[in-house]
Amino acid sequence: EADIYQTPRYLVIGTGKKITLECSQTMGHDKMYWYQQDPGMELHLIHYSYGVNSTEKGDLSSESTVSRIRTEHFPLTLESARPSHTSQYLCASTLAVMGTDTQYFGPGTRLTVL
C-alpha cells in the first residue's frame, strides 16, 4: 500500500470559508498531483508539481492554489469555498520519470460546501 496521506477525509463547510486540503507522501517522490473527481466521472488534473518550488495548473481550471515547499508535502487551498467546489479531491505522486512509473493515490478528501 502506498505511503500517501490526505486529511481530512471528509469536510463539510459553509460558503466563503477558507480551507486547506493536506497531502503528504513518504516515498520521496518528486512529482505530485491534485485531481478532482465527481461521482461517476473521470479524474481531472487541476494542479501538479515536478518538485520543490515548482507548481503548474492542470487541464481543469480551478480556483484553488497549491504550494510545494517540501518534497513530501503538497497542500491545496481554497480561499473562499463555494458550492461548485463540492467534489472529491485526490492527491497522487510518482517518481520523476513519468514513463511507466505508477501513480500512487491518496484516499481522497470528500468536500461538501453548503
Residues that bind another protein (CB under 8 A): 2, 4, 6, 40-45, 48, 59, 90-92, 98-100, 102-108, 110
Q: What is d(CA 46, CA 35) in angstroms, rounded to the nearest whole number?
A: 6
The three cell numbers of residue 37 are 473527481
Q: How far is the CB of 15 from another protein (least distance, A)?
A: 24
Q: How far is the CB of 36 from another protein (least distance, A)?
A: 11
Q: How far is the CB of 16 from another protein (least distance, A)?
A: 27
Distance of CA 77 to the CA centre of its chain: 9
Q: Where are the beta strands (DSSP E) in 8-95?
A: 10-13, 19-25, 31-37, 44-51, 54-57, 65-66, 76-78, 87-94
